[in-house]
Amino acid sequence: MINPHGSQEFNTLYISDDTERAQLIAEATSLRNIIVDSAAASNAVMLASGYFNPLTGYMSLADCLSVSKSMTTAAGLFWPTPVANRVNSADGLSIDQQIALKDPNVEGNPLLAIMTISSIDEASDTQISTMAEQIFGTTDRQHPGAKTFMEAGNVFLGGDIQVLNYSYFETDFPDTFRTATQIREQISANGWQKVVAFQTRNPMHLAHEELCRIAMERLDADGCVIHMLLGQLKSGDIPADVRDACIRKMAEVYFPANSVMVTGYGFDMLYAGPREAVLHAVFRQNMGASHLIVGRDHAGVGDYYGAFDAQTIFDTLPEGVLDIEIFKADHTAWSKKLNKVVMMREAPDHEKDDFVLLSGTRVREMLSEGIAPPPEFSRPEVAKILIDHYQIQA
């Protein structure tokens, strides 16, 4: 199986031993505690899950600046986006101090992790803006990822962490949330060698389903891991539990048994386009995938990125920084001429009207009105779940 990124052995930061975990929880009652923001909480979950291997905790400001500029830490590790714990004030905090990190996303703010502080640095507003421009390509606060990044605290707390739970992901999504280690173990148990990963933050329509099938066939892959984001999204996106139900139904009905794994990970969406696509590749390598599907406007939002910027960024990476390979996909849609889903670049004799194309706005309107999109666009079983969701929201 493909090696994890940056190391031979996994560096998972979750304390799995019950006795040790109970002892740390007890010790944490005497520690200074802070409620971290959602980005830091989801970073902790990703570190605990092995997705952010080989990192041992939150980056220092120097590492965040270096990663934002050149996609390498100060020590030279390839990494595409900062992994930070940012707060508004460091009053009362000191180097080598242990602090308890509380979860902002669970009622009562339970203990999430224990951190040993190794660096405390305050970034200037100029540094924050520069990093946002480098990561997101913009400082426009209409961009949801850039807005979140620019409005987080200016104080960067760097240091190793010991994670004591997986926040709400393990309890809210017990059948779907899986660590990188667990996915590796399942891939091995399945006997899969060549594995395609499909990233999604949306329900999967017919074109997405067929894209997975196309990639599997062309790569002669043993299986596909459909890996959905379970964390925070922008307003208007489909909630994770609804997406989960849609994807599970699609996989159950339309894929052969034991050909796909439906799983999820605990991270907040960055909407960072090309940079986030590279991050997706890093942690899909960590979970054991040999290939990642990168399609049109992967991890994008609005008109901030070119349609295929998330593919071309991989052509600029230094040789050997990643072992995972990219399956570059075009926009897929149903061809009225061929009576099947195709990648549009592979149908040069087609005009726009030869495809079944619906905008996201139109699809939401139809679902809100209780109208299922045509079967050339969405599976009826998936459409029913979405219609039920929109009817409840009405």
Cα–Cα dist 188/378, whole Å? 32
202 among known catalytic residues: yes
**Structure confidence at residue 148 (pLDDT):** 96
**Structure confidence at residue 265 (pLDDT):** 97
Q: Which of 109, 154, 202, 248 is catalytic?
A: 202
228 contacts: CB under 8 Å, gap ≥ 6? 176, 200, 201, 240, 243, 244, 247, 262, 263, 264, 265
Residues of the chain with pLDDT under 70: 393-394
HEC profile of 151-201: HCCCEEEEEEEEECCCCCHHHHCCCCECCHHHHHHHHHHHCCCCEEEEEEC
Cα–Cα dist 102/137, whole Å? 31
**Structure confidence at residue 237 (pLDDT):** 80
Q: Which of 109, 190, 201, 248 is catalytic?
A: 201
**Structure confidence at residue 394 (pLDDT):** 61
The domain limits of the chain are 18-170, 175-393
> Can you name the CATH fold of 175-393?
Rossmann fold (3.40.50)
**Structure confidence at residue 136 (pLDDT):** 98
- pLDDT above 90 as % of the chain: 89
359 close to 116: Cβ distance less than 8 angstroms: no
User: Is CATH 3.10.400.10 what the domain over 18-170 is classified as, yes or no?
Assistant: yes
Give CA angle at 347 (345, 350), nearest 5°: 115
Report which residue type is found at 191. G
- Give Cα separations from 117 to 84, 90, 93, 325, 380 (angstroms): 12, 11, 8, 36, 52
Q: Of 176, 216, 173, 209, which Cα lies nearest the Cα of 193? A: 216
201 among known catalytic residues: yes
**Structure confidence at residue 235 (pLDDT):** 75
